[in-house]
Structure 1
Amino acid sequence: MARLVRLKDLMSEYYSGVLEMETLLEVEQYELDELQSAIDRQAGNQFVMTADADGIVAWESMVGIETLTSMDLETRRYNVLARLLPPKPMTITYLSELLEMLNINAKLVKNGTFSFNVEFNATDYGAADRLNLLLKQIMPANLVFNTINKVTSTKQGTAYLGAGSLKEIERTNTGVLHG
């Protein structure tokens, strides 16, 4: 953080070398720096993309999202942005535009009547989770989508791959689990 005002620079030559005055200005400079920090923080929290953890809590409260501090800040930020999107009929064209607007490097590939693959390149650790949450929030219930993270590399060496799947389990009112 850059200081906007340095009190010692504003001090008159008359007070130069006076210990009491220099000490007083040093203490006041600390208070001014704290005030500037609070102003900068408040200004950053006015916008979702620059908000810190406390700012995101306020945004989540405004849009009616439960605050989950276990999620990383970027995921929470994207959840707020997704909730702020204007209501518009969801089409594949609109979804493609939305992914581009949110700077998500993804491509939609139709692989059935009501099924799509979303091929993307993850930019960071939480990108896949953010994409899945976004798709779950905005996709119609009758469409099935699979997210595929396409990773490319020019480095040579041993690659260790893992695969897994998630089968959703539904709990019925009889207490029996169906999967």
Structure 2
Amino acid sequence: MKSLRLAPACATLGLACWLAAASAGAQTSDPAAAADKSADKPSALSGWMFGYAPLDWHFSDAKKENDFEPDEQKHAYVWLIQAEKELGERHIAGFAYFRNSFGQPSQYAYYGWRFRPFDSVPGLFFKVTGGIIHGYKFPYNKKIPFNNRHGWGITAIPAVGYDFNSNWGAQINVLGNAGVMFQLNYTVR
């Protein structure tokens, strides 16, 4: 009896799929023309760069600077994911979510500039971003300048990078006098 109840639903679903396939075939009667139209149309994500930084290097151990900090603190594993939008030839804006070196989830919303100073090396770029950072909370709020007790602060991060082709690139983010972060990027064109 249950199979009879499902029969109208299956027939309706099959008819809907057949109509969708027939209408798709009618719209693409000339495959070459359809391919040309889709090649000219940019992606909705065009200009977005997505980055992942699985590796960092600190210049020193996490040393205790204040009495209220834990005694045996070592740097935790740091990672970052990022989305960045090209706003023009040099202007960029983005958001990064990361785990800081003290194991706290953190965020960075920024605006910045990307420069390509050498025509002889077109893939090389320099970047500087500035924005609002959140996540370095007590007792580590004094580990970065211009940060309050609740983890809110402002910061600037310079970077140098290289685009291997139109989509893939890598960059090194300079994290003040604390260390550097190595990042892999994919740009949607």
TM range (shorter): under 0.3
Higher relative contact order (CA 8 A, sep 6+): 2
**Higher fraction of strand:** 2
TM-score (norm 1): 0.28
